[in-house]
Structures are given as structure tokens and as C-alpha cells.
């Protein structure tokens, strides 16, 4: 018989984590509180992956000890769930550590048995942790693993602990998919079946928690294989029931997919264009036509409230055609049309995102992308270069979502044509985006300096009273300045005088 060498655990703590755990250990020991590292932190240690989230199960009420821990560590305290006794300590500064505290009820073994998935149902007594940087943090005998979590880590499988895990906490439906996507794991067959029949439970879940999991799921790169899978589990329409009518809604023959599948594939097209994923229908030649630089990469990574611009673009990709089912019509030539779907879709977006507790700023950005996603190609009909005024109007209307809307229009194009993409049309569209962005940069150079004239100067020069008319005149002057039609104070005053004369003439007629 051949001897099989036993697999030896060698999870290691980096110095910042070791130092923080040492502080936490002293705080708890002083109060005679026993603590266990649990869940995600143990999983990350075993997988040798980085995390700034520490999960601790404690033999005291987490809501009682959390404030003192936050004060001692210079952080802030966030109560999470009073009924189940969970809380969070958020530490400021480098690393942005968070410590999630849960109250042990009935012993650590029972506590682990109430968790969601086997890979999250492992624990190590904090007192057994070796805090020496570079040394194994704990040994095989220290690991508490009553549900076979370590074996599932080795098999790269997400497995529900029991058939009631989703009834206990429906947000776990989303967490299962998100964990599998982040770790590159699969969900075992029985757990998949449970998810498929439990999607309706999300209706009763706190919207903020659903939003947080959705944002993390949208942040996972390479969306092409992920989101069709999310749909196959029934989770897209469970989260956004307004998307259900789009299933099976046919489109004109140049479209490769129906409205729903097109929307899901547009998510993947966004990742492809932002250099965050693949696109099976196209490769380097398609991507090379699209403008890209480090500045754009930084732009799409910036956060609006709690979500990155890239995540909000992917959310807009899902929702951009949400109004197509109710706007569908067949014209006199027999062609399918969706008149007004961008406007009607934008009007649906706030209700969807308010329900999911997205912030006002996040909602406005997504709403603008949906409203104006058709505008970029419309600026260049029949190959005519868009005018400076058309570009100015686009950025004025799209506001902070201008760049996102341009790239969403490209993603929409890719997900419409699919394998039938016409490279000449694609290069024209990508070239239009590059031209509009460059012209906008030049416009910003013209209008970023102080205004050529102020509102007070206009009121004094033309005997105007304070009011909306002055604001409209300033905006018209700003547009003329961006278009390069006025460049000096004298030209601005002459331009304003001419405009006011025209207005007076119209009023007299």
C-alpha cells in the first residue's frame, strides 16, 4: 500500500492582520470574552488570498462589545442585526479593515451549523492563532470543520449546509452565486436546485442587503459566463421583476438576441470594452478600435456613493431596454419598432433603484445612461460629423454620465449584432465615440476658465432684473463659448445683445 502524505495546513497572516488580531485579542481577553475566527476570514487564510474583512464569533453580545472595540481601535461602530446579535467595526486609514462580530448562541459548533455554506462554516479559536508573521497561523488540529468545508474548498464547490439556509436568510441566494464567481468555484447540484425554487424569498429580504450583494456580483469581472447563469437560477427577475416581460420579446432581424438576452449580454459587453472580460463574439480587432487609456481606467473605477462607475454601467446595461416590451409596435412596413423606449425606460429606473436602496446619485447616473444611450449614434446620421453644438447638448443633457453613455452605446451595439458584427459600422461607431470625447476635451478647455461675463454684468449691461432669463442667457453664452463662437468679453456681450434683440422681436411679433 502506498502511503499518502497528509495535506498540511500552512495558512499565514500578513503583518497588518497579525497586529490587528493581537490588539483585538487583548481587548477581548481583558473582558474574559472568548472569540473564534470564522467564515470568510478562515476561508481566505486557507486559500491564501487577501482580505480586509475579519469575521469573529464571540461569547458575548456583539452589540454590547462593539462600541468599546470601535473606540479602542479608533474606528466606528455599525449595528447590523439586533435580533441575531451582529455588528460591525469599521477602521479608518490604510487597509480599510472591517471586523464583523456575531454573537455565539449555544456554542461554536451550533453556531457553525447555522451558517450558510460549508466553506463559511469553519472556525479557529483566536487564542490558538500564531500571530508571528510568516509562520503558519494555525494547525490542522486547530481547525473546527464540522461540515466538511475544507474538503469543499479543495473541490472548489459551494454547498449549502442544509435545505433551510435560504429560508433562514434569502440574501444567501445571491451570496452563493457571488462567492462562486469571486472564487472561481461551482455551486453543487442540490444547492442549485434549492436556489431555483427559492428566488421568490428575495421579496421579503432587506433591500439594502440585496443591493450590497448585487453590487458585489456586478463587480465580478468577465461577466459573459456569469450573468446568463444568474438568469438560469431565476435571480435576475427575482431582483428586478420589471425585467420579466422582456423575456422572449423579439427584435428586428439585425439583432442576434431577444430583448432580455440582449440586455444580459450587454453587461458582458461593458466588461469587454472596459478591459475587464472577454467577448466570445469578437476579439482584439474589435477592441482595438475603441479609445482607451489609463485616465479612462481610473474614471470607470471611481465610486459614486458605494458603487464604481463600472458597476453602475453594468447595471444600466441590464436596464437600458427595460421599456421595450410595452413600446413594441409593428410599423406599416412590417418592421418592429420600440419608439420612446429609452425615455420610458429612464422613467422606470428610479422606482427600481429606489426599491433596491441605491443612492440618489447612483440612480441619477443610471437613469441618464438609460435615457441617452441612443443619442451617441444619432449625433452622426448618414456619416455627418456631429457639430460642436450637438456634442455640447449631449454632455449637457447626460451631465455626469456622458462618458458612461458613450461606452454603453458601444456595448449596446456589440450585444445587438453579436456574431454578425459589421466591422466597418463598428469602426465608424467607435471612431464617433473617440471624436466626441476629443471634442469634449477641447470644449472643456474653452469653458473651464471663468465665464467671459457674469450674471451681474449682463443685468447691468442690458438693464435686466434677476431671474430665470439671466440664467438661460448665461447657459446660452456658455454653449456658444464651448462651440468656439465667442472667445472674448466683448464678443460675449455683443452675442448676448443680439440674442436679446431676437427675443424682443419674437415677443413683439
Residue 442 has pLDDT above 90, yes or no: no
Average pLDDT over residues 154-167: 96
HSE-CB at 281 with a 13 A cutoff on CA atoms is 22
Structure confidence at residue 497 as a pLDDT band (50, 70, 90): confident
Average pLDDT over residues 237-249: 97
Structure confidence at residue 155 as a pLDDT band (50, 70, 90): very high
The set of cell numbers assigned to 261 is: 438576452
**β-bridge partners, 55:** 100
CB 248 within 8 A of CB 260: yes
Average pLDDT over residues 177-187: 96
Between 358 and 487, the higher pLDDT residue:
358
The strands making up 35-38's β-sheet, listed across from edge to edge, are 75-81, 86-91, 98-103, 53-58, 35-38, 123-125
CA distance 163 to 172: 12
pLDDT at 509: 37
Q: What percent of the chain has pLDDT over 70?
A: 94
Which of 24-33, 91-100, 136-145 is the least confident region? Answer: 91-100
Structure confidence at residue 54 as a pLDDT band (50, 70, 90): very high
Residue 231 has pLDDT above 80, yes or no: yes
Structure confidence at residue 306 as a pLDDT band (50, 70, 90): confident
Residue 6 has pLDDT above 50, yes or no: no
CB 358 within 8 A of CB 349: no
**CA 435 distance to own-chain centroid:** 27
Contacts of 351 (CB under 8 A, 6+ apart): none
CA distance 150 to 184: 16
Residue 5 has pLDDT above 50, yes or no: no
Residue 175 has pLDDT above 70, yes or no: yes
Structure confidence at residue 13 as a pLDDT band (50, 70, 90): confident
pLDDT at 503: 66
CA distance 202 to 210: 8
Could you give the domains of the chain? 15-155 (3.30.460.10), 161-239 (1.10.110.30), 240-447 (1.10.3210), 455-508 (no CATH)
Residue 263 has pLDDT above 50, yes or no: yes
Q: Is 347 exposed, middle or buried (CB count within 10 Å of its CB: 0-12, 13-18, 19+)?
A: middle
CA distance 310 to 423: 25
Structure confidence at residue 1 as a pLDDT band (50, 70, 90): very low
Structure confidence at residue 123 as a pLDDT band (50, 70, 90): very high
Report H helices in 418-454. 423-447
Neighbouring CB atoms inside 10 A of 103's CB total 19
As a three-state string, the secondary structure of 197-251 is: CCHHHHHHCCHHHHHHHHHHHHHCCCHHHHHHHHHHCCHHHHHCHHHHHHCCCCC
pLDDT at 282: 83
Structure confidence at residue 3 as a pLDDT band (50, 70, 90): very low
CA distance 394 to 404: 12
Q: Which residue has the cell 485616465?
A: 295
pLDDT at 298: 93
Which of 122-131, 236-245, 377-386 is the least confident region? Answer: 377-386
Residue 129 has pLDDT above 70, yes or no: yes
CA distance 25 to 55: 13
Contacts of 356 (CB under 8 A, 6+ apart): 207, 210, 211, 214, 239
pLDDT at 387: 87
pLDDT at 122: 96
**β-bridge partners, 101:** 56, 87
Average pLDDT over residues 26-54: 91
Q: Is 508 exposed, middle or buried (CB count within 10 Å of its CB: 0-12, 13-18, 19+)?
A: exposed
Structure confidence at residue 445 as a pLDDT band (50, 70, 90): low
Segment (H or E) for 260: helix 259-273
Distance between first and last Cα of the chain = 105
**β pairing state of 86-91 and 157-158:** unpaired
CA dist 448 → 308, 405, 445, 451, 478 (Å): 25, 22, 6, 8, 10
Amino acid at each position: 500500500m502506498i502511503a499518502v502524505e497528509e495535506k498540511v495546513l500552512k495558512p499565514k497572516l500578513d503583518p497588518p492582520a497579525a497586529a490587528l488580531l493581537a490588539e483585538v485579542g487583548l481587548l477581548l481577553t481583558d473582558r474574559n470574552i472568548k472569540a473564534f475566527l470564522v467564515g470568510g476570514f478562515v476561508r481566505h487564510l486557507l486559500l491564501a488570498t487577501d482580505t480586509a474583512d475579519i469575521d469573529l464569533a464571540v461569547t458575548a453580545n456583539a452589540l454590547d462589545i462593539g462600541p468599546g472595540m470601535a473606540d479602542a481601535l479608533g474606528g466606528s461602530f455599525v449595528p447590523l442585526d439586533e435580533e441575531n446579535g451582529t455588528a460591525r467595526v469599521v477602521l479608518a486609514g490604510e487597509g480599510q479593515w472591517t471586523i464583523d462580530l456575531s454573537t455565539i448562541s449555544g456554542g461554536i459548533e451550533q453556531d457553525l451549523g447555522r451558517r450558510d455554506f460549508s466553506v463559511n462554516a469553519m472556525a479557529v479559536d483566536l487564542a490558538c492563532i500564531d500571530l508571528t508573521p510568516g509562520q503558519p497561523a494555525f494547525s490542522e488540529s486547530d481547525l473546527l470543520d464540522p461540515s466538511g468545508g475544507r474538503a469543499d474548498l479543495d473541490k472548489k464547490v459551494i454547498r449549502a449546509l442544509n435545505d433551510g439556509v435560504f429560508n433562514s436568510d434569502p440574501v444567501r441566494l445571491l451570496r452563493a452565486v457571488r462567492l462562486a464567481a469571486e472564487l472561481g468555484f461551482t455551486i453543487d447540484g442540490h444547492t442549485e436546485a434549492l436556489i431555483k425554487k427559492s428566488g421568490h424569498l428575495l421579496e421579503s429580504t432587506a433591500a439594502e442587503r440585496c443591493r450590497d450583494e448585487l453590487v458585489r456580483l456586478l463587480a465580478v469581472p468577465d461577466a459573459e459566463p456569469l450573468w446568463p447563469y444568474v438568469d438560469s437560477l431565476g435571480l435576475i427577475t427575482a431582483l428586478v421583476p420589471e425585467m420579466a416581460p422582456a423575456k422572449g420579446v423579439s427584435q428586428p432581424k439585425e439583432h442576434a438576441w431577444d430583448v432580455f438576452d440582449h440586455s444580459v449580454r450587454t453587461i458582458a459587453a461593458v466588461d469587454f470594452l472596459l478591459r475587464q472580460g472577454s467577448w466570445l463574439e469578437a476579439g482584439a480587432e474589435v477592441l482595438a478600435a475603441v479609445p482607451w487609456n489609463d485616465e479612462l481606467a481610473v474614471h470607470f473605477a471611481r465610486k459614486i456613493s458605494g458603487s464604481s462607475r463600472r458597476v453602475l454601467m453594468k447595471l444600466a446595461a441590464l436596464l437600458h431596454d427595460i421599456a421595450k416590451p410595452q413600446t413594441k409596435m409593428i410599423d406599416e412596413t412590417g418592421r418592429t419598432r420600440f419608439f420612446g423606449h429609452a425615455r420610458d425606460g429612464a422613467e422606470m429606473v428610479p422606482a427600481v433603484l429606489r426599491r433596491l436602496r441605491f443612492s440618489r446619485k447612483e440612480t441619477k447616473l443610471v437613469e441618464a445612461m438609460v435615457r441617452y444611450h441612443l443619442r451617441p449614434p444619432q449625433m452622426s446620421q448618414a456619416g455627418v460629423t456631429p457639430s460642436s453644438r450637438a456634442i455640447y447638448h449631449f454632455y449637457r443633457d447626460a451631465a455626469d454620465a456622458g462618458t458612461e453613455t458613450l461606452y454603453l452605446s458601444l456595448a449596446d451595439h456589440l450585444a445587438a449584432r453579436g456574431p454578425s458584427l459589421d466591422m466597418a459600422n463598428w469602426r465608424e461607431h467607435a471612431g464617433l465615440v473617440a471624436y466626441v470625447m476629443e471634442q469634449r476635451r477641447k470644449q472643456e478647455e474653452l469653458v473651464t476658465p471663468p465665464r467671459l461675463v457674469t450674471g451681474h454684468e449682463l443685468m447691468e449691461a442690458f438693464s435686466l432684473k434677476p431671474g430665470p432669463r439671466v440664467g438661460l442667457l448665461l447657459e446660452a453664452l456658455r454653449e456658444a463659448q464651448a462651440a468656439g463662437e465667442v472667445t472674448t468679453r466683448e464678443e460675449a456681450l455683443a452675442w448676448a445683445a443680439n440674442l436679446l434683440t431676437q427675443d424682443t422681436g419674437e415677443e413683439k411679433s
